[in-house]
Structure 1
Amino acid sequence: MIRVLIFLALTTPAFAETVVATRTIRATDVITASDVELLTVTTADAADHVDLVIGMEARVALYAGRPIRPADVGPPAIVDRNDLVPLVFQSGALTITTEGRSLGRGGVGDVIRVMNLSSRTTVTAKLSQKGIAYVSP
């Protein structure tokens, strides 16, 4: 009898607070408080607090009633594809600045491809808070 109870306790689904979308949210939309709600449902690797997703940008389409995973959202994009961005290389006391064209969208801390407009070379750069693309040595 005890073995059956232990087996049932281990095989029952875990219920937890889960953040779900209240409407269909398109990719690139910024999520607001009215777009999400907290439900008690069976979940696996879903966000468990609304503060984790409010103010973030949807990376994929999010459908009403479905759990939102942390990988489905990210910081809002500050640079769009084809935007002109300052492209900066720093190494010690040396700083080289030029103009670049972003080849993708990205938010703060994202690594995107940028084309150096002077040399037409494509580099990868990390975006800063002010939309500056920093190239690593």
Structure 2
Amino acid sequence: MIAMLRSIAGRLAGALLALSALAAPVQAGPVETLLAEELLGTLGPSVPADARVSLTLGAPFDGPVDQIRAIAHDPRGGTFRAQVVSNGRTVELAGRAEIEVEMPVPVRRIRPGEIIEAADLTLVRMPLERAGAGFVQSAEALVGLSPRRQMPAGRLVLVGSVGMPIVVQRNRPVTLVYEDGPLVLAARGRALQEGGVGDLVRVMNVASSTVVTGTVTGAETVSVNGPSVNGPSFNGLSSTQQAARRDAPSKP
């Protein structure tokens, strides 16, 4: 049953691609180039703007192309079919179609903790089916980030394998900070996870051994909020901080 539904869905997708309004007269040019431009237009936002289509006709065709009536692409088989008007008659064309996109890859091995720079990356062209949604698709999205694990040269970069530069190291001391209006509380903690600015990490309060989750806000600094910080999570405050906490007006 599932196989039948998938087959029906595939045929419907092909039919939708094949349905196109009558095109305006096509300018003269190599038929492969004209068909590639038309096919790219039918794919719309499903492919990156820098995508390129490479077509190879299954049989020679050297006639003029007055109009492209319809074109359909089978991404699984890498083939296409088209109807063109040539000298007043409709001609069926078919062949291979390969869609390529540019993807960023490192030019060298980049280790965790290093900051990725533009010079560390290059763009390589590859078939669209290899450049899935699970990979970072632009160099601009990588510059300024840091790998969470080693990035080999020439390999696509997985989404989630990079992030903001690590400023909180696992098992290293951090400052736990809680702010509530004019009230600022701080305590010593030990990071149980590493993270960059904006990451959520778990931290153990050194004095109370309570584990809390907070947001990395800077070098060796984690901000926490919520009811738990008003309890044992913030034992071990300095005397000044304890006084500030004691003298702070209680909330209704």
TM-score, scaled to structure 1: 0.81
Structure 1 contact 108–131 (Cα < 8 Å) conserved? no
**Matched length:** 135
- Alpha-carbon distance, 1:18 to partner: 0.3
What is the CA–CA distance in structure 2 between the aligned matches of 1:14 and 1:59, rounded to whole Å? 31
Q: Equivalents in 1 of 2:159, 2:198: separation in Å?
A: 16
Contact kept in structure 1, 2:168 and 2:219, CA below 8 Å? no
Distance 1:93 1:11, change over 3 A: farther
The normalised TM-score by structure 2 is: 0.47
Map 1:20-39 to 2 at 5 A. Answer: 20-39=105-124
Cα displacement (A) at 1:91: 4.2
Which residue number corresponds to residue 207 of structure 2? 118
Task: Report % sequence identity.
Answer: 31
5+ long unaligned stretches in structure 2:
1-17, 19-70, 79-97, 227-252
Alignment match of 1:14 (pick from 94, 99, 108):
99
Q: Which structure shows the higher helix fraction? A: 2
Q: What does 1:1-137 correspond to in 2, within 5 Å?
A: 6-8=72-74, 11-12=77-78, 14-42=99-127, 43-45=131-133, 46-91=135-180, 94-137=183-226
Higher strand share: 1
3-state SS of the aligned residue for 1:17? strand
Give SS of 2:202's match.
Answer: strand
What RMSD in Å do the two structures reach over aligned CA positions?
A: 2.5
- Could you tell me which residue of structure 1 aligns to residue 91 of structure 2? none
